[in-house]
Structures are given as C-alpha cells and as structure tokens.
Amino acid sequence: MEKHAIEKSFKCNVCASEFSNGSNLKIHMRIHTGERPYKCGFCDFAFRHKNALNKHIRIHTGEKPYKCDVCESEFTDGSYLKIHMRIHSGEKPYKCDACEWAFSNRNSLKWHKRIHTGEKKYECEVCKSKFSTSIGLRSHVKRHTGEKGEKRFICEVCGYASAHRSNVRTHMRIHTGEKPYKCDVCESAFALKWNLKSHMRIHTGETPYKCDICMSEFNQNSNLQAHMKVHKQDEPNECKTKRSTFSNSSSHKKRYKCGQCLSEFATSTRLVIHMRIHTGEKPYKCDVCESAFSTKSMCTAHMRIHTGEKPYKCDVCESAFTNKSSCKNHMRIHTGEKPYKCDVCESAFTNRNSCKNHMRIHTGEKPYKCDVCQSAFSSRSNLTNHMKIHSGEKPHECSVCKSKFTTRKYLKSHMKIHT
C-alpha cells in the first residue's frame, strides 16, 4: 500500500518552518513570541503547550507512571524510561563525530561535543566563570549564594549524607569495593564512569584540554587548570594572622583544590600527582617486574625490593627499611608515639593504615575478598594470611621442633610450649 506524503501547507513567517496543521504552527509560534499560556499551580514555571505542563506537574505530585520491567525504576515521562532502558540494553545510538565515544541520550552527546569545541555558553553573573552545562553553572552559583540542598539521603554504613540519591549509591561503592567500570585494555577498574573515561586517555593518548597560552595539551581539565596557574603572575597576599605580605609562590595556603574529593595542595605539582589516584594513571614502571606507580619516589622505593637496598636505619635498634616513612613509623615503637586516633573509640595507632584498618571494625567494611571461598576481610594482611589456608603455605617454622605455622602470631603462641 502506498503511503501518501503529508502536505505541510502551514508555514512560519519568522523561520520558514512548515507544519501539517494550524494548531502545530500556533504552538510553534510561541517560540518566537515567548508566550507560555500553561502555568503550574505549584510553582512559577510556565509552558508553551499542555503536555509539557502535565509532565512538569508530576514533579510536584510525585506521580511516576512509567516503570522499568527490568529493575523497577519509575519515571515521570515515557521518554525518560526509553533512555533508561538503554542502560540495560547497552544501546548508545548517539555517536560523536570527533572521537569514538557514543551515548545513550542526545543531551550527553551535546555536552560531550563541547570538550572538542571548547564551548562554554553558561556564564556566572557574579564572577564571570564559564561552564559547558547549565548543571555545572547551577552547582557553581551555590558557592556564591551559600545555598545547600537538604541532605535527605543517608549512607547506612558511615552516615554520609547527600541531597541526591545517586550520590549515595555511588558513595556506597567505597564500602562495597564495587568497581563496575572496567578498562578493556589493561583491566583496571573504577567506581565512577568519569574516572574510566579519564583513564582511557592514557591508552588513546587523547589530550582534549589545551592551554591557550603555550599550547600545552592535557588529558584532564584539572591538569590544565593546575598548569594555567604557572602562567599567572605572583600577586602579593596579606596574611591575616601575622599581617605580613608574601607572594603566592611562598604562601603557606593550599590554593590547589582537587575537583573530585576537595583535597587541597600547596603546589600544582602535588595536585597533578594526587589526581592520579582518581584516574588510575601510573606512569612510572618497574624495569624488573610489571609493577607500576603514580610517583617516581614510589617506584624508586619499590626497586629496593629487587636490589635488597635498605638505606633508612633505625637509630635505636638495627632494623633497616626501604623507605623513610616505614622507618618513621617503626621509630614510634621506641618512642611510644601514636598520633593516629580513632574517632569512635579511644584506640590510637603509630601509622595511618593501622588506624584505617581499625575503623572498619566500627563500619563493618570488609573490602578484601577471597577468590576461593568468598570470605571477606577488613585488611589486606588478614586476606593474605587466610589465603595460606587454601595454598597450604606455612612459612613460619619453630626453631626447636620444626613445627610450621601460617602466621607469626601462631608461631609465637606455639613457642610458649618450649619456654
């Protein structure tokens, strides 16, 4: 059966758009006139057509008539459900012409393209900072107004709170250890999709962020922002506590902030190194084994495992260490110093890692899982000791009767038999 083309006889006098009937032309004309006759009874929003108002009203009523058959998520509009379903199907119909990235919805592609074009159409009226998305601008403006959304969604493990449920869901991956975003090249895994995207640039060599002054290129915007401060002239600052004047280069203030976790650093170099925690970048490789590290000093310290070099010696006993921090932690055994305190109970520790492992007693977090029997542990060392049950390894031998044990603790307990 032949399909007859629908004649579009109604034309817009302003932009020459064509429509098949007068009502559609009438609605279209409101784009040019700015007319919004359909007003929301709950807030000040107004709309050009009734359907848009009906969708908006559901924000106030909480009605979500469109349900996902796979995960039972609910939506106010059918188009949102359609986009959501692509999470389950993996469909990404919107492809970028400049690179190989693809997206499940048109808006995500639109925002992504601004990385290539450098377009930042949203400007802050207060400080003139520019942003590629309206969401980025709205979030920024809250810094000036001091506005904070009500933190209704709370993490049941540690009490972290957020105004958005999605933030708490993402936060929970800290406790569960879940890293759903995996690199196809090197098998690195990440808790956030953004971190995987940044990491992939290590493999692709993509450097979409360019410095307008010296044309240097960077794989992350944060690295570009840190670099831009190199070009800024040092301006004198007045210290409020000592009333002395100093330049930015000698300031004790931590002016460089991480956009991911809000950590602060005194120099851009330290910020760049810190960002590798989020991206997973490890540019320093061991020549002997396949280990890789985020800093040169960590790689140097690691190499001493292979060479056997232990340049850091304890002044009290004859212990020696491959790095200064291990020696410093060891010295606290002699001094009795325990600077790391538990916020929940009165326990104190000689090093940060011990305190961090201890905190998991209170949170119940057990991020280290056994691949054999699925047992979980609060520290890596406990997992290592547990694995010896499966491997049958007993590296600790009694010097008296030659009995062998999986841990030094068990050997120590056994030695009491002989004494």
Predicted model pTM: 0.33
Q: Please give the residue that has the higher pLDDT: either 221 or 307.
A: 307
Residue 92 CA to residue 194 CA, distance in Å, equals: 17
Q: How many CB atoms lie within 10 A of CB 360?
A: 16
Where is average pLDDT lowest: 105-109, 176-180, 247-251?
Answer: 247-251
- pLDDT for residue 223 is more than 80: no
- Of the pLDDT bands very low, low, confident and very high (cuts 50, 70, 90), residue 279 is confident
Residue 44 CA to residue 350 CA, distance in Å, equals: 58
Domains 10-89 and 97-229+249-279 share a fold: yes
Q: What is the pLDDT of residue 244?
A: 35
Q: What is the pLDDT of residue 235?
A: 39
First-to-last C-alpha distance (Å) of the chain: 100
- pLDDT for residue 249 is more than 60: no
Q: What is the pLDDT of residue 312?
A: 84
Q: Which CATH superfamily is domain 284-415 in?
A: Classic Zinc Finger (3.30.160.60)
Q: What is the pLDDT of residue 233?
A: 41
Mean of per-residue pLDDT scores for the chain = 79
Q: Note whether 326 and 312 are within 8 A (CB).
A: yes
- Per-residue tokens: 347: 């326990």
Q: Note whether 189 and 179 are within 8 A (CB).
A: yes
pLDDT tens, residue by residue, 25-71: 888 888 889 899 999 888 888 888 888 888 888 888 888 888 888 87
Q: Which fold has domain 97-229+249-279?
A: Double Stranded RNA Binding Domain (3.30.160)
- pLDDT for residue 330 is more than 80: yes
pLDDT tens, residue by residue, 361-390: 888 888 888 888 888 888 888 888 888 888
Q: How many CB atoms lie within 10 A of CB 196?
A: 20
- pLDDT for residue 248 is more than 70: no
Q: Note whether 225 and 216 are within 8 A (CB).
A: no
Q: What is the pLDDT of residue 254?
A: 62
Domain spanning 10-89: which CATH class is it, in words? alpha beta
Q: What is the pLDDT of residue 16?
A: 80
Where is average pLDDT lowest: 13-17, 287-291, 314-318, 376-380?
Answer: 287-291
Q: Please give the residue that has the higher pLDDT: either 187 or 396.
A: 396
Q: Where are the domains of the chain?
A: 10-89, 97-229+249-279, 284-415
Q: Please give the residue that has the higher pLDDT: either 227 or 112.
A: 112
Question: Which amino acid, 87?
Answer: I
Q: Which residues contact residue 258 at a Cβ distance below 8 angstroms, ignoring those fewer than 6 apart? A: 222, 264, 265, 271, 274, 275, 278
Where is average pLDDT lowest: 12-16, 234-238, 298-302?
Answer: 234-238
Q: Note whether 270 and 256 are within 8 A (CB).
A: yes
